Structure 1
Amino acid sequence: INGKPFGLDYELAKQFADYLGVKLKVTVRQNISQLFDDLDNGNADLLAAGLVYNSERVKNYQPGPTYYSVSQQLVYKVGQYRPRTLGNLTAEQLTVAPGHVVVNDLQTLKDTKFPELSWKVDDKKGSAELMEDVIEGKLDYTIADSVAISLFQRVHPELAVALDITDEQPVTWFSPLDGDNTLSAALLDFFNEMNEDGTLARIEEKYLGHGDDFDYVDTRTFLRAVDAVLPQLKPLFEKYAEEIDWRLLAAIAYQESHWDAQATSPTGVRGMMMLTKNTAQSLGITDRTDAEQSISGGVRYLQDMMSKVPESVPENERIWFALAAYNMGYAHMLDARALTAKTKGNPDSWADVKQRLPLLSQKPYYSKLTYGYARGHEAYAYVENIRKYQISLVGYLQEKEKQATEAAMQLAQDYPAVSPTELGKEKFPFLSFLSQSSSNYLTHSPSLLFSRKGSEEKQN
Structure 2
Amino acid sequence: MGEEIEGGAGRVTAVAGLCIVKGLIPARHRMPSTPNALSGRLAIRLLALIALCLLPEPPRSGPDGLLEAIRERELLSVHTRNTPTTFYEGREGPTGFEYELMRRFAGQLGVSLTLRADHHIESALAAVRQQGDMAAAALPLEPGRPGVIFSRPIIALEPVVVYRRGLPPVEDPGSLVGLAIGTIAGAGTGRVLAEVKRELPALEWVDSAEVEVAELLGMVEDGELDAAVLYDHQFRLNRLFFPGVERGFPLGDPLSMAWAFPAEGGLALAEAANRFLAGLRESGELDALVARYFGHDDYLEYVGTRTFLDHVEARLPDYAALFREAARATDFDWKLLAAVGYQESHWDPLATSPTGVRGLMMLTNATAGDLGVDDRLDPAQSIHGGARYLRQLHERLPDSIQGDDRLYMAMAAYNVGLGHLYDARRITETRGGDPDRWRDVRESLPLLQEREWHSQTRYGYARGGEPVLYVRNIRRYYEILSYVERSRRQFPLLDTRARDPEPSG
**What is the TM-score with the length of structure 2 in the denominator?**
0.48
- Structure 2 match to 1:409: 430
Q: Secondary structure at 2:290's aligned position in 1?
A: helix
* SS of match in other structure, 1:270: helix
Whether 1:35 aligns to 2:35 is no
* Pair 1:83 & 2:83 matched: no
User: What is aligned with 2:205?
Assistant: 119
* Code of the aligned partner of 2:260: F
Which residue of structure 2 aligns with residue 326 of structure 1? none
Opposite residue 16 of structure 1, the aligned amino acid is F
Mark the runs of 5 or more structure 2 residues left unpaired by the alignment.
Answer: 1-87, 326-332, 363-410, 434-453, 465-505
Is 1:94 equivalent to 2:181 in the alignment?
A: yes
Q: Relative to 1, partners in 2 of residues 1:395 and 1:69: Cα closer, same or farther, differing over 3 Å?
A: farther
Residue equivalent to 2:458: 439
The residue correspondences of 1:173-322 to structure 2 (distance < 5 A) are: 173-178=259-264, 180-211=266-297, 219=301, 222=302, 264-265=309-310, 270=312, 274-276=315-317, 291=335, 319=358
Give the secondary-structure state (helix, strand or coil) at the position aligned to 1:66. Answer: coil
C-alpha displacement at 1:315, in angstroms? Answer: 12
1:315-334 equivalent positions in 2, closer than 5 A: 319=358
Any idea what SS the aligned residue of 2:173 has? coil
The superposition leaves residues 234-287 of structure 1 with CA deviations (integer Å, 9 ceiling, x where unpaired) of xxxxxxxxxxxxxxxxxxxx58977xxxx643xxx635x8335x77689999xx
Q: Is the 8 A contact 2:151 2:260 kept in 1?
A: yes
Residues 18 and 293 (structure 1), Cα distance of their counterparts in 2 relative to 1, 3 Å cut: closer
Aligned to 2:135: 47
Asked if 1 retains the 8 angstrom alpha-carbon contact of 2:323 and 2:337, the reply is no
Instruction: Give the Cα separation in 1 of the matches to 2:348 and 2:196.
Output: 57
The aligned amino acid for 1:407 is T
Is the 8 Å Cα contact of residues 87 and 116 (structure 1) preserved in structure 2? no
Gaps of 5+ in 1: 223-253, 324-389, 413-434, 446-460
State the percentage of identical aligned residues: 19
SS in 1 for 2:316: coil
Q: Secondary structure at the match of 1:190?
A: helix
Cα contact 2:159–2:253 (8 A) shared by 1: yes
SS of structure 2 residue aligned to 1:121: strand
Q: CA deviation at 1:34?
A: 1.4
Matches within 5 A, 1:391-430: 394=415, 405-411=426-432
* Secondary structure, aligned partner of 1:167: coil
Alpha carbons 2:162, 2:249 under 8 Å: kept: yes
CA distance in 2, matches of 1:401, 1:188: 41
Whole-Å separation in 1 of the counterparts to 2:156 and 2:425: 35
How far apart in 2 are the matches of 1:179 and 1:440? 33
- CA displacement at 1:150 relative to structure 2: 0.9
Q: CA deviation at 1:149?
A: 1.0
Task: State the match for 2:241 in structure 1.
Answer: 155
Counterpart of 1:86, as a letter, is P
Displacement of 1:13 after TM fit?
0.6
The answer to whether structure 1 residue 10 and structure 2 residue 99 are counterparts is yes
Provide closer, same or farther for how the CA distance between residues 187 and 144 of structure 1 changes in structure 2, counting only shifts above 3 A.
same
| 2:149 alignment partner in structure 1 | 62
Of 120, 145, 151 in structure 1, the residue corresponding to residue 231 of structure 2 is: 145
Deviations 1:368-404 (A, max 9, x none): xxxxxxxxxxxxxxxxxxxxxx99x957999987665
Residue deviations 1:186-228, cap 9 Å, x none?
Answer: 11222233334443333223212214xx79xx94xx3xxxxxx
Counterpart CA distance in 2 for 1:315 and 1:94 is 32
Residues 149 and 270, structure 2, Cα contact 8 Å, conserved in 1? yes
Letter in 2 for 1:107: A
Q: Distance in 2 between matches of 1:6 and 1:195?
A: 20
For residue 481 of structure 2, what is the aligned residue in structure 1?
A: none
Taking a change above 3 Å as real, the CA distance of residues 99 and 264 of structure 1, as seen in their structure-2 partners, is closer
CA pair 321-208 structure 1, distance change in 2 beyond 3 A: farther
Q: Distance in 1 between matches of 2:150 and 2:160?
A: 23
Going from structure 1 to structure 2, the CA distance change for 1:402 and 1:150 (only over 3 Å counts) comes to: farther
Aligned residues: CA RMSD: 4.9
2-structure distance, mates of 1:395, 1:129: 20
Deviation, 1:138, is 1.9
Please state whether the residue corresponding to 2:126 is helix, strand or coil.
helix
- Equivalent residue letter for 2:141: Y
| 1:106 pairs with 2:154 | no
Q: Judge conservation of contact 1:50–1:172 (CA < 8 Å) in 2.
A: yes
- Distance (Å, rounded) in 2 between the aligned partners of 1:315 and 1:73: 23
Counterpart in 2 of 1:129? 215
Pick closer, same or farther for the CA change 1:71–1:132 going to 2, 3 Å: same
Q: CA deviation at 1:72?
A: 1.0
Matched, 1:166 2:252: yes
Structure 2 counterpart of 1:408, one-letter code = E
Quote how far apart the aligned CAs of 1:22 are: 2.4
Distance 2:416 2:356 in 1: 21
Contact 1:283 1:297 survives alignment (8 Å): no
Cα contact 1:52–1:169 (8 A) shared by 2: yes
Q: Which amino acid aligns with 1:270?
A: V
Structure having greater relative contact order (Cα 8 Å, sep ≥ 6): 1
| Distance of aligned partners of 1:195 and 1:292 in 2 relative to their CA distance in 1, 3 Å threshold | same
**Equivalent pair of 1:87/1:115 in contact (CA under 8 Å):** no
Shift, 1:177, TM fit: 2.7
The Cα shift of 1:12 comes to 1.0
Task: Give the Cα separation in 2 of the matches to 1:49 and 1:83.
Answer: 29
